[in-house]
Amino acid sequence: MQRIVWGRPTSSNVMKVLWLLGELGLPFERIDVGGSFGKTDTPEYRKMNPTGLVPTLQEDDFTLWESNAILRYLAQSNSSAIKLWPTDFHARANIDRWMDAQQTVFNRPMSQVFWGLVRTPADKRDLIAVAAAIEDTTRAWKMIDANLRRHRYIAGPEFTLCDIPWGVHAHRWFNMDYLGLTRPEMPALRSWYDRLCHRPAYRRAVVATPIA
Ligand SMILES: N[C@@H](CCC(=O)N[C@@H](CS)C(=O)NCC(=O)O)C(=O)O
């Protein structure tokens, strides 16, 4: 079977997929599309992914988009992922809701922080808007920090699928240049990030990619 990840490696949503593939030791090829690479508005790409966004996963003639759906698909279709997404109804539902919360509660303010500090030229930065987005983002991180004060990973004592969507952003959160803006201390969140940094697949997919 040929497995292809379509998407530039600097995308947080692409990173999620690369990280999980690394955790599972699954072979894949990656093709640069999106961002400055373009090619996401071609009819061929839109046929695979009508949103024109990245990532898209292709396995022979099966294609899938939406990063968290891709994580679940890879977890379901590879038995080595059973501990990451257990079949127990309650355990799985708990993991799923934290994955969804990354998209619904956290993604918007975090994107505003990231774009405002990293992807906006210095003379166009609106640090007042960024400060407000940092506040909203902090509120979401505090929710995660509260979990991490009770157990080592977001859903419980073990690393699971929901650590991935949040974990890709933790690297940015702790390593962006804040240009004088403050980022509140959250020691449990920091320790969790430090633990993720011990995972080779995280280092390869997330830490090794420049924050850009
Ligand atoms: N909800 C989608 C969002 C995908 C998304 O917004 N991807 C961004 C990169 S993180 C994108 O494609 N941006 C345009 C581009 O890179 O050309 C997912 O989780 O896959």
133-150 per-position pLDDT tens digit:
999 999 999 999 999 999
Q: If we measure between CA atoms, which residue out of 203, 181, 204 comes closest to residue 194?
A: 203
Query: DSSP readout, 76-125?
Result: HH-GGGTTTS-SSHHHHHHHHHHHHHIIIIIHHHHHHHHHHHTSS-GGG-
Cα–Cα distance, 126 to 138 (Å, whole number): 18
Q: Which domain holds residue 185?
A: 89-204
Atom of ligand 1 nearest to the CA of 11: 10
Whether the CB-CB separation of 34 and 11 falls below 8 Å is answered with yes
- What is the reported pTM? 0.98
Same domain, residue pair 163 and 112: yes
Domains of the chain: total: 2
Domain boundary among 28, 59, 81: 81
- The pick from 12, 17, 31, 53 for probing ligand 1's pocket by mutation, whose C-beta has the most ligand atoms within 8 angstroms, reads 53
Q: Tokens for 160?
A: 């699971």
Among residues of the chain, what percentage have pLDDT more than 90? 100
Nearest CA to ligand 1 atom 6: 53
Same domain, residue pair 44 and 138: no
pLDDT at 193: 98
11 lines ligand 1 (CB under 6 A): yes
| 3-state class (DSSP) for residue 59 | strand
On whether residue 211 sits in a domain, the answer given is no
Query: DSSP readout, 127-159?
Result: HHHHHHHHHHHHHHHHHHHHHHHHSSSSSSSS-
